[in-house]
Amino acid sequence: MTHADTPGVTAGAERPTDAPGRVPAARRRASGAVLAVLAGVAVVAGSLVVMGINGLVPVTSVAVGCAVAAALGWSTARAARAVRRLETGAMTGLPNRHVFERALDELLGRPDRAQGTVMSLLDLDDLKNVDRQLGRRATDTTVRACVRIWRDRLPAGASLYDLERGRFALLLPGAVSGDAVAVVDRLRSNLPYPGTVTAGIGRYCAGDTLALLTTRAGASLHRAKLAGKNCVDPDAWTQTLGLEIGRGLARGEFYLAYQPIVRLDTGEVVGCEALLRWAHPVRGPVPPGDFIPVAEATGTICDLDWFALTTAVQTLATTTEPPAGLLRLGVNVTGADLRRPGYADTVLALLETAGLAPERLVLEVTESILGDDQPVAVAALSRLREGGVRIAIDDFGTGYSSLGRIGSLPIDIIKIDRLFVATQESSRGALLAAVVALAQALGADVVAEGIETRDQAQLVLDTGCVVGQGYLLGRPGAFDDVLRLSSSAASHPGEGQAPAGAGTRRTGPGTTR
């Protein structure tokens, strides 16, 4: 097993070995340089002694002194170069393992400075295979090019070290450690290296020693390799992103995009759904499919949902344009929200304070929230519905609800999951029609999600569902875009089913959050 395959960074780097019993060449050169310096110092000292005894400076002593001074300068420079060679990676010029361990040990010796520090290990994957493809010399040139790019991408205060060929250590001080995964991802992206880069992350904990922190980072790197390489350790991603969510919320990095909900037969905009978005200052736009599960796992989902609800309610309540008075607003909530004591009354108080009629708010929940094991959540929904708020089941058809139980739940709207609309199965029309018939039998309104083509819109209409949502009908955007679309549809009723952007398909998987 090679060192690159094992967690931790305590093993020595691979270097050409010298003959048994001999001092390594680099150390011999350094020792020789130091001896030369000592010899020069001895000669100068001897000259000074002679001068002190005789009280005179003979010509020969002056000549010897000049020669010694020149030799001393040359020997000192040579010694400095030898020391630099001992403390830098031969291929990259970065500080090597010895400097890294010394710097980290000194840092850990001062807990006040070490607080918040993050250490990352980065591995150039499959370096031996790359060697075989390009040749050793070409690979070395490529790695040096990667290091030059990394130097330019490092944030202030960060330090990069060359531990061995193909493995690097990154130390991030507390000021930037919250962005650790983002920094590492930026180092990993768009490199000239033909292979992949895998990274692990270790966070400083009180009482950490050099061995403990490097072992933690090494274990993280090992998990990342087990996950398939070309990634950052998923556990580190979750922990770091969870911290970033809270900080991003405080810094105003989150915002809402509004997607219209449209009648397919007339083009009338009947409502919109508020979708949470994150503009990360380092990562750029973070997909909801990435941050929503992390928020749920780390407990920040309630803060995100409350931000979305209060922002959306204030936006709709303070908009005076005529179309806004006709729109219903959908906002996602989770079981964690509904289980909070007094949640229903808090929402109703928010609506009263904002001056927004409760029936204009639609709270969207998933099927899992309505299970037999969620009595508190169901009770909260019932209280909200009694107060006038409308309740929608989002992504219907993807959960495991009992059909016998659905009829007894506080439901006003069923939003059919996009899978029923997008499937290419020959039976998709029959399946969709069955779901629409079930919703109508329950007395619920029906909305088909994920409509992206005219063919899908026609299929939905043919099943008896007249309201839809999807990229064909309108992409998520500013609330003003929804108002403009609503005004346009109102002034030209019945003109087609697909506003601007018709026929444009979404690229990649989406989420309704």
Candidates 179, 403, 421; CA nearest to 282 is 179
Whole-number Å distance between alpha carbons of 22 and 207:
40
Residue reference for tokens 């495991």? 400
Residue type, 162: D
- CA dihedral 405→409→414→419, nearest 10 degrees, is -40
Contacting residues for 255 by C-beta, under 8 A, at least 6 apart: 277, 279, 311
What separation, in Å, do the N-terminal and C-terminal C-alpha atoms of the chain show? Answer: 45
* φ, ψ of residue 338 in degrees (nearest 5): -65, -25
139-145 contacts, C-beta under 8 A, 24 or more apart: 140/91, 142/192, 142/193, 142/194, 143/91, 143/92, 143/193, 144/91, 144/92, 144/93, 145/192
Q: State which H helix or E strand residue 349 sits in.
A: helix 343-354
163 CA to centre of own chain: 26
Order of strands, edge to edge, in the sheet holding 118-124? 159-164, 167-172, 118-124, 197-203
Distances (CA, A) of 310 to 288, 289, 304, 317, 365: 19, 22, 10, 10, 17
Q: Is 449 a catalytic residue?
A: yes
CA atoms of 41 and 180, how far apart (whole Å): 49
The HSE-up count of residue 13 (CA atoms within 13 Å, CB side) is 21
Going by their DSSP bridges, the two strands 197-203 and 159-164 should be labelled as: unpaired
Tokens in use for 23? 């001092």
Give alpha helix (H) positions in 119-256: 127-134, 136-153, 174-177, 180-188, 210-226, 234-250
CB 454 within 8 A of CB 502: yes
Among 273, 367, 449, 452, the active-site one is 449
Residues annotated catalytic, as ranges: 449
